Structure 1
Amino acid sequence: MRIPFLTVPVMKPIRVMPDVALDRASSARALDRVGMAGIALPVRTRSATGETLQVPARVDVYVDLRDPDVRGIHMSRLYLRLQHAFAAEEMTPDGLGRVLAALVETQGALSRGAWLTIRFDHLVLRPALASANAGWKAYPVEVLASIVDGRVAIDLDVSVDYSSTCPASAALSRQMSAEAFARQFGAEGTVDAAAVHDWLRSEPGLVATPHAQRSRAHVRVRLVEGLASLPIVELIDRIEDALGTPVQTAVKREDEQAFAALNARNLMFCEDAARRVAHGLASDANVVRFELDVAHFESLHAHDACAAVSGEGGAA
């Protein structure tokens, strides 16, 4: 009878890899923030119709380093914890709080706070002003979330493009139109309505046009605690409603004409635009406080006209 040959496994020696992050810091000092910027991640957000959409995002993540003698944090733990943090379910205030707490836990006793900045474009399908068309519009969004000693704070940052027609230029244009009308039809007496109609539709009837330009409102708000979702579309709508002239997507001639009429009803300096948006945010129950700035990318000047204002929201 043959006895089977038994092989004894050879135990390989455990390979110990150096970890210089465990070395003592050469210049002892606690650090406010340590982490990574520009991490590519998928994020799920809520659309205007209630569905969740997955969008590409860039994420910055930081923790504090409280021990002055520790050389470095566990950076790979932060990266790995974030890989699927917002891909499986909608990003919400509650979910952000859980992720932030988990980021602090990855560092053991090294950290007491964590910070996230999540940047992405939020797509909204916008109807045309007059025609039956619609088009997608991208809004740059930043979600800034932090946890320090267990307290979570969330800021929402959005940018909205709009059109601004200069009130001074409009007044000067109206004056030139009135003077041209007087020269054409006389300053006194009756005029033929049909002749006036034809003259206004002709090129000589358009004497001057006010200057207008694409403009941008940049708004950052501190959200009230306890929200079930991030009010991204609600904030964008509030800003656009306050301004009255958001830039359009699909445009036919009837839409362009309607847009011209909106601009005529919403003449504004940059100061007017800033006050309009601030007034809208001051009554927003989702907002504790806000900071905003507007920039009119002038067509008259080679420089921009800008204004900024801050204040308390409706939740304050």
Structure 2
Amino acid sequence: MTALTLPDIAAQATHSSLPLDWVGMCNIALPVLLDGSMLRASADAGVSLDDGSARGIHMSRLYLALEAFERQPLTPQLLHQVLLNFLESHAGLSVGAYLKVRFDYMLKRPALISPLAGWKAYPVTLSAQVKDEMFHVELKVEVDYSSTCPCSAALARQLIQQQFLTDFGNQPLSHEAVLSWLGSAQGVVATPHSQRSVAQLQVRLKKGTSELPISALIDQAEAALGTAVQTAVKRADEQAFALANGQNLMFCEDAARRLHLTLQRLTWAAGFALRVEHAESLHAHDAVAQSQWCW
């Protein structure tokens, strides 16, 4: 009995001769090796379908090419090689290959004062593509921080001044009385509002960059912002964080400008786009600022 050849429907011609920009798969479960550890990731993989007469691509070939991530550390070179494998397996069909890898990058962060420390997860997205033989990689990270509104701080200070005049008027003042008043709820009648904020930083790596500077990007961003959210804390750490916020007032525009100037100084960045979002505690909407350079 003659064995039947399995049909290859994707190889059949289509009646609508039309190229497609991107064809592939999204949210593929994928392990990646980074800094000596295996991380759980998800990937989007695809190619352009430039032969408009072809009905489809070979998605299984893209899937199998992703096995390289199980064996080799995650680097720009590995991303490039996987994309070239995409194109090699689709010779005559595609001239562009695309890959996006998402995972959480874990860093252990010390408390501000006490010896405590805790883990923080930073969402990371790597976007890579080869098109017309040109290769580039973009690194995107999200950094959470606290932001205290300068306007709210000024209004709170004014209310405290008014309460001081009400309570003391033209009375003689003693050091002890003023100190007691400042430490009471009656004295500090208002506090400025702060909000959980997030910075989304997308940096295009310069050609020839051999490593993924994830930690460096996060460290530079948190240093520029000054009030990154904390992990494990004692009361002394919480007090130090309150002090940092009080001395680090910022609108979303201030945060965006600080980050822009910081990212411009990165020697491995060919360009960037950034977005900051301050989740308002006063309003039901958020405050947003964006900036970019050489994009």
TM interval, shorter chain, is over 0.9
* 8 A contact 1:282–1:312 mirrored in 2: no
* 8 A contact 1:57–1:120 mirrored in 2: yes
Percent pairwise identity: 51
The structure 1 segments of at least 4 consecutive aligned residues displaced by more than 3 Å after TM superposition are: none
- 2:122 maps to which of 125, 139, 152: 139
Give the TM-score taking structure 2 as reference length: 0.96
Could you say what secondary structure the match of 1:178 adopts?
A: helix
Could you say what secondary structure the match of 1:301 adopts?
A: coil
In 1, Cα distance between the equivalents of 2:172 and 2:272? 55
In 2, Cα distance between the equivalents of 1:80 and 1:307? 41
Q: CA deviation at 1:17?
A: 1.1
Give the TM-score taking structure 1 as reference length: 0.90
Residue in structure 2 matched with residue 271 of structure 1 by the alignment:
253
* 8 A contact 1:101–1:150 mirrored in 2: no
Q: CA deviation at 1:190?
A: 5.8
Q: How does 1:18-167 map to 2 (within 5 A)?
A: 18-46=7-35, 52-82=36-66, 84-167=67-150
| Aligned-CA RMSD value | 1.4
Number of equivalences:
295
Q: CA deviation at 1:312?
A: 3.9
Q: How does 1:179-190 map to 2 (within 5 A)?
A: 179-186=162-169
Unaligned runs of 5+ in 1: 1-11, 47-51
In 2, Cα distance between the equivalents of 1:90 and 1:183? 66
Unaligned runs of 5+ in 2: none
Does residue 301 in structure 1 map to residue 290 in structure 2?
Answer: no
Does residue 283 in structure 1 map to residue 283 in structure 2?
Answer: no
Residue in structure 2 matched with residue 173 of structure 1 by the alignment:
156
Whichever residue aligns with residue 46 of structure 2, its letter is Y
Could you say what secondary structure the match of 2:186 adopts?
A: helix
In 2, Cα distance between the equivalents of 1:312 and 1:231? 19
In 2, Cα distance between the equivalents of 1:79 and 1:58? 12
- 1:251 maps to which of 233, 240, 244: 233
Whichever residue aligns with residue 54 of structure 1, its letter is M
In 1, Cα distance between the equivalents of 2:39 and 2:289? 32
In 2, Cα distance between the equivalents of 1:243 and 1:312? 22
In 1, Cα distance between the equivalents of 2:124 and 2:65? 23
Larger Rg: 1 or 2? 1
Whichever residue aligns with residue 43 of structure 1, its letter is V
User: For residues 246-277 of structure 1, what are the alpha-carbon distances to aligned partners after superposition, in whole Å with 9 as ceiling and x for unaligned?
Assistant: 11111111111011011011101111111111
Q: How does 1:197-236 map to 2 (within 5 A)?
A: 197-236=179-218
